[in-house]
Amino acid sequence: MMTMNGDAPEEFEYDRAKEVKEFDESKIGCKGLADSGATTIPRFFIHPPQSLQLAQSFSFHLIPTIDLSHADSHRRSEIVHQIREASHTWGLFQITHHGIPLCVFDDTISAVRSFYELPTGVKSQHYCREMGCGVSFTTSTDLYRSNAAAWRDTLQVCVGPDPPKVDLIPEVCRREVMEWDGHMRRMGKVLMGLLSEGLGLERRGLEEMTCVDASNLLVQYYPYCPQPDLTLGIKSHTDPVMLTIVLQNQVGGLQVKHGEEWVEVKPMHGGLVVNIGDLLQMISNDQYKSAQHRVLANPFRETRISIPVFFNPSKRGDTDFYGPLQELLSDEKPALYRNFTMGDVMGRIFSREAGNLKNYFEL
Ligand SMILES: O=C(O)CCC(=O)C(=O)O
Ligand SMILES: [Fe+2]
């Protein structure tokens, strides 16, 4: 059942539902529309003017870039300090000198690009709208849940806590996706270590709470959009997870909100974008802030590709509670959020009225 715009005439609603379904069933994705040479976008992609406002970013701010070299030796306390500051004021930063060879970045991007360049008939064998079914290829993930669709296609691979179903990963990018997953597991632990110390916890504090055990890897594909001023690649959101690490190619479009301004997260070859998610904001009792971000529809002929890896806690039981950490609370700093299970979080994310996760758990 799709979200209906309350005051739209019924005839319009019916047409929209039909058009959306036809597009979904065609399985061609936004890439298929772009490749068809279309000069206009179907109207179900058109966003209301208020979500497009200030789509262009005029800000001269630069997001923090943190050099991770010698993170295990003499520079550790300086790096912990930089990460703490960036996580508090921006919720997003780039990291360099993280130890992943540059050629791995290029190989990973070109392998996942090859998947999208497969003939529609081959690619569509992986087409599946339900997220969380191991491996799925789809378009505009919130097509039926949101008022306006987003101009991007997505390949999702659940890589944890259970081992990924390797055979289900498209063969053209299987080896590279698995290799990237290995690098991200290591990076997730390194970052959680630094973030733990930034909160005054032991290095393995967040890791022992299983915060990096469950991960989900997406390959976001933003093809050329013929009317980029009318739609978005991803609408403004915060990630409803612990932490996200993003590899992006050289075609820009990612923006982060800083105060009232949208600031471009300029692609940096060999850099990785890290964002704090809502769960980490809640367990840190607002010492870290989740970043509000979005991706513009791609106006360039060259496709924008990004690979976000989302980290989440793996304990999923009804009595496995997460919430503001006791160590961070005092009379002056009372808990700002109630405790929650991952079941509560998932229920909220997939509910019809899913709004801001943090507001929902706020005390
Ligand atoms: O494409 C990007 O750079 C970011 C994607 C994103 O924000 C997301 O998948 O949640
Ligand atoms: Fe995101």
Provide DSSP, 213-247: TEEEEEEEEE---S-TTS-EEEEEE--SSSEEEEE
Å from CA of 14 to ligand 2 middle: 31
Residue 275 CA from chain centroid, whole number? 9
- The answer to whether 196 and 79 are in contact (CB under 8 A) is no
Which strands form 261-264's sheet, in the order they lie side by side?
232-237, 293-296, 254-258, 261-264
Closest C-alpha to ligand 1, atom 5: 308
Å from CA of 297 to ligand 2 middle: 15
Q: Of all atoms in ligand 1, which is nearest to the CA of residue 253? A: 3
Protein residues placing their CB within 5 Å of the ion ligand 2? 239
Structure tokens at 277: 């998610």
Within 6 A (CB) of ligand 1 lie: 218, 220, 234, 239, 246, 248, 254, 293, 295, 306, 308
- pLDDT < 70: residue spans in the chain: 1-14, 54-59, 131-133, 352-355
Structure tokens at 89: 């004021």
Q: Of all atoms in ligand 1, which is nearest to the CA of residue 154? A: 9
Q: Of all atoms in ligand 1, which is nearest to the CA of residue 233? A: 1
What is the predicted pLDDT for the residue at 165?
A: 82
What is the predicted pLDDT for the residue at 201?
A: 96
Closest C-alpha to ligand 1, atom 1: 306
Å from CA of 202 to ligand 1 middle: 30
Q: How many CA atoms lie within 13 A of 162 on its CB side?
A: 10
Residues paired with residue 304 on neighbouring β-strands, in sequence order: 222
Q: How many CB atoms lie within 10 A of CB 151?
A: 28
Å from CA of 334 to ligand 1 middle: 32
Å from CA of 44 to ligand 1 middle: 21
Going by C-alpha positions, the residue among 157, 125, 127, 147 that lies closest to residue 139 is 127
Cα dihedral value 82, 88, 94, 97, nearest 10: 30
Pocket test for ligand 1, best of 272, 295, 310 (most atoms within 8 A of CB): 295
Pairing assessment for the beta strands 214-222 and 304-312 based on DSSP bridges: antiparallel
What is the predicted pLDDT for the residue at 6?
A: 44
pTM over 0.90: yes
Taking the C-alpha atoms of residue 211 and residue 104, their distance in angstroms, rounded to an integer, is 25
Question: Is 320 exposed, middle or buried, given 0-12, 13-18 or 19+ CB atoms closer than 10 A?
Answer: middle
- DSSP assignment of 47-80 equals PPHHHHTT-S--------EEE-TTTTTTTHHHHH
Q: Of all atoms in ligand 1, which is nearest to the CA of residue 275? A: 7
What is the predicted pLDDT for the residue at 309?
A: 96
Pocket test for ligand 1, best of 141, 246, 251 (most atoms within 8 A of CB): 246
What is the predicted pLDDT for the residue at 13?
A: 55
Å from CA of 60 to ligand 1 middle: 22
Ligand nearest to the CA of 254: 1
Pocket test for ligand 1, best of 254, 255, 303 (most atoms within 8 A of CB): 254
